[in-house]
Chain A
Amino acid sequence: MKAIITVLGKDTVGILAKVSSACAEENVNIIEVTQSVLQDMFAMIMLSEFDSEKVSFDEFQKKLDILGDENGLKIHVMHEDIFNSMHKI
């Protein structure tokens, strides 16, 4: 399945590295990354893909939740379809 990972928070050194290594540890492939920094606010959006039979979505989500809490970031992992259905006809 494809999931969108969004990372929002205050810009600090190494956010991208931390999130992408968490993905690598869980065997989650990152297909595309876009990021922007507005004033101090950091917003990163990653399109990721993983085999839902091998990777537990719940565990991956929890792992990124913890990572977010530790670094003062808000990280969401959501199925791609929610955005497709809301924003594409």
Chain B
Amino acid sequence: MLETKDILETIDMIDNENLDVRTVTMGISLLDCIDSDIDKACDKIYDKICRYANDLVSTSDSISREYGIPIINKRIAVTPIAMIAAVCQTSKIVKFAKVLDKAADTVGVNFIGGYSALVEKGFAAGDYALIESIPEALSVTEKVCSSVNIGSTKAGINMDAVRMMGNTVVETAKLTKDRDCIGAAKLVTFCNAVQDNPFMAGAFHGVGEADCVINVGVSGPGVVRAALAKSDCKDLSQVAELIKKTAFKITRMGQLVAREASQRLSVPFGIVDLSLAPTPAVGDSVAHILEEMGLEICGCHGTTAALAMLNDAVKKGGVMASSHVGGLSGAFIPVSEDAGMINAVNNGALDITKLEAMTAVCSVGLDMIVVPGDTTPQTISAIIADEAAIGMVNSKTTAVRLIPAIGKNAGDTLNFGGLLGEGPVMPLRKGKPDTFIGRGGRIPAPIQALKN
């Protein structure tokens, strides 16, 4: 029989430390829905998503009840729509966003990702139209998430795309300014995007993936923090060991849910994503783990080192717990979704430059950061370029999800509600990068791309 203390530990993690499965995401390929007639393509997409994901929510809910683990989100990721739109004889492709939104509503998921384009080396048919349609698409839909990959270690950075994304982010925020600029919170710009990411807003179903697949994202910053608080670890070797053990347990739970969901839905199991994903709930913060390690406040000197260790220990613990690990797999540091990060920003301990340094050692990037409403598209592009350069050179995924708070300035707050949380407007650095961004072209791939 199991040991009493183990059983009580699991129950305590779920009841008091916010242990949950953050998302069960079904990846669905839409390559067989391609049609030169956009209406026919949309019909095929709607039918396929509804057929495949019909039982996703009910099955996840029944697993959640049986095993006693909350499964917070049920989501869908689809093939990047730019590929589907490429053959359509029209540039009015917002219809695709609307049909994704409708399908998400029908099957009951809370987000659908894949209104995406992959343009790290250049634009193919459909890519321009898709990027240009993003602001409208995100303003007329509720559940659609969009992402654009503008760089990779192998290809370098497409600076024309970076320039476009600066405009796209600002336009998206403007079109949804009456709803706290929420459109921009559903738009991610990637370098080295992964094809099997279960987390929004950056999830899409890569072309190398199977027709349909189940990916699971676990969570548990609260559990890691509580484990550290209860322990009597003295040096950092012991802290790292404890984080590894805790990550192992969390991931085993995710693996179990992934296996069950894949069996019950008769869909192949893809990966478990090991990311520590915070929520705005009290006690579910990555910043608080860093503080538990001995920092007075997240953002003070030492934060990057603590985060690097946390990120690495989570991976080491998680890798053994799951048969297939993938996605982003690291600690997330979204500002608005993490009570500790918000507190650190409000106290002046955490600013965008420190966040940028932190993204060099963890997944995923400058995430859910609210910037002043008068920030120029060129400055947003420059932030994207900086972040993409970190990803490109370090062979890791980096992402930028900035929300220009239209009509607001440093000191104000945007409130998105729910899992997206609320974010204080953060000041940016001085100076104009306009000429640099205006040059366009490509930043060549770094030397480590040439490994053959």
Query: Interface size on A (CB < 8 Å)?
Result: 25
- Asked whether any CB of chain B lies closer than 8 Å to the CB of A82, the reply is yes
Q: How many whole Å from A27's CB to the nearest CB in chain B?
A: 18
B256 and A85 contact, CB distance less than 8 A: yes
- Judge whether A78 and B252 touch: CB under 8 Å: no
- Does residue A69 face the partner (Cβ distance < 8 Å to B)? no
Interface SS, B side: helix
Closest to B66 in A: A79
| Contact A87:B3 (CB < 8 A) given known A8-B11, A74-B15, A82-B256 | yes
Return 20 A-B CB contacts under 8 Å, by A number: A6-B8, A8-B8, A34-B4, A43-B8, A45-B7, A74-B15, A78-B67, A79-B67, A81-B67, A81-B256, A82-B67, A82-B253, A84-B2, A85-B253, A85-B255, A86-B10, A86-B249, A86-B252, A86-B253, A87-B6
Other than the known A34-B1, A47-B1, A79-B67, what 19 A-B pairs have Cβ atoms closer than 8 Å? A4-B2, A6-B8, A6-B11, A8-B8, A8-B11, A45-B7, A58-B65, A76-B11, A76-B68, A77-B68, A78-B67, A79-B66, A79-B68, A82-B69, A82-B253, A83-B6, A85-B255, A87-B9, A87-B10
Residue A61 is within 8 A (CB to CB) of chain B in the complex = yes
Set of chain A residues within 8 Å of B66, measured between Cβ atoms: 57, 78-79
Tell whether, in the assembled complex, residue A45 and residue B256 are in contact, meaning their CB atoms are under 8 Å apart.
no
Q: How large is the interface on B (under 10, 10 to 19, 20 to 34, 35 or more residues)?
A: 20 to 34
Binding site for B on A (CB under 8 A): 4, 6, 8, 32, 34, 36, 43, 45, 47, 57-58, 61, 74, 76-87
Separation in Å of the A70 CB from the closest CB of chain B? 19
Question: How near does chain B come to A22, taking the closest CB pair, in angstroms?
Answer: 17
Closest approach, in angstroms, between the C-beta of B255 and any C-beta of chain A? 7
Complex contacts, A34 vs chain B, CB 8 Å? 1, 4
- Chain B contacts with A in 1-59, Cβ cutoff 8 A: 1-4, 6-11, 15
Contact partner of B10 (CB less than 8 A), chosen from A36, A43, A83, is: A83
Q: Is there contact, CB below 8 Å, between B249 and A45?
A: no
A46 CB to nearest B CB, Å? 10
Q: Which residues of B contact A (CB under 8 A)?
A: 1-4, 6-11, 15, 62, 65-69, 249, 252-253, 255-256
**Which one of B7, B11, B249 has the highest number of Cβ atoms from chain A below 10 Å of its Cβ?**
B7
Do the beta carbons of A82 and B68 come within 8 Å of each other?
Answer: yes
Determine the distance from Cα of A68 to Cα of B9 in the docked complex, in whole angstroms. 20
Chain A residues within an 8 Å CB radius of B9: 87
Query: In whole angstroms, how far apart are the Cα atoms of A68 and B318 in the complex?
Result: 35
- Interface-central residue, B3, B10, B69, B256, by most chain A CB under 10 Å: B10
Most B C-beta atoms less than 10 A away, residue of A32, A43, A61, A87: A87
Q: Considering residues A47, A58, A79, A80, which has the most beta carbons from chain B within 10 angstroms of its beta carbon?
A: A79
Q: Which chain B residue has the least Cβ–Cβ distance from A87?
A: B6
Q: How far is B9's CA from A81's CA once the two chains are assembled, in angstroms?
A: 15
Interface of A is mostly: strand
Q: Which residue of B lies closest to A84 (CB)?
A: B2
- CA distance in complex: A87, B321 (Å): 11
- Measured in the bound complex, the distance between the Cα atoms of B64 and A57 in whole Å is 12
A77 to B67, CA, bound (A): 8
Chain B residues whose C-beta falls within 8 Å of the C-beta of A43 in the assembled complex = 4, 8
In the complex the two chains form, is A36's CB within 8 Å of B4's CB? yes
- CA distance in complex: A4, B4 (Å): 11
Chain B residues, CB < 8 A from A78: 66-68
Taken together as a complex, chains A and B put the C-alpha atoms of A56 and B432 apart, in Å, by 65
Tell whether, in the assembled complex, residue B252 and residue A85 are in contact, meaning their CB atoms are under 8 Å apart: yes
Bound form: Cα–Cα A6–B331 in Å: 32
Please report the C-alpha to C-alpha distance between residue A79 and residue B7 in the assembled complex, in whole angstroms.
12
A42 shortest CB reach to chain B, Å: 12
The complex places the Cα of A39 from the Cα of B256 at a distance, in Å, of 35
Residues in A neighbouring B6, C-beta threshold 8 A: 83, 86-87
Residue of B nearest to A34 (CB): B4
The CA of A61 and the CA of B7, in the complex, are separated in Å by 18
With A8-B11, A76-B11, A82-B253 as contacts: A61 and B4 at CB distance below 8 Å: no
Instruction: Select from chain A the residue with minimum beta-carbon distance to B253.
Output: A86
Chain B residues whose C-beta falls within 8 Å of the C-beta of A81 in the assembled complex: 67, 256
